[in-house]
Amino acid sequence: MRALRRQGDKISAVLKAAGVSVEPYWPGLFAKTLAAQKLDDLITNIGSGACLPPEHVATARRERRGAAAGAPARLKVVKP
């Protein structure tokens, strides 16, 4: 638990040096969240859509294209 507190303090120091103000509980909460994750997985999976099944990704892309063209968005329920 001390390590997480130190990590939260380090995150607070970085935010302070960057001139960013956040509520005092955020750095500790962020440190706890990072402790539960593998950093390599977080870095390599950014924007990959790995958290969604392929059919959901395809549906989201179609909806985005339709919304960009001005068409009303249609919701489609995909059952697993």
Domain ranges within the chain, ordered by starting residue: 1-36, 47-75
* pTM of the entire predicted model: 0.46
Which burial class, exposed, middle or buried, applies to 71 when counting CB atoms under 10 A from its CB (0-12, 13-18, 19+)? exposed
> With 60 as the cut, is the pLDDT of residue 69 above it?
no
pLDDT given for residue 39 in this prediction: 72
Q: 58 is written with which tokens? A: 């395809």
Radius of gyration of the chain (CA): 19
Q: Higher model confidence: residue 44 or residue 33? A: 33
> With 90 as the cut, is the pLDDT of residue 14 above it?
yes
Q: Higher model confidence: residue 21 or residue 46? A: 21
- Per-residue pLDDT band for 49 (boundaries 50, 70, 90) equals low
pLDDT given for residue 80 in this prediction: 65
Q: Alpha helix locations (H) across the chain?
A: 2-18, 25-35, 39-44, 54-68
Q: Which amino acid is at 5?
A: R
Q: How far is CA 11 from the centre of its chain?
A: 17
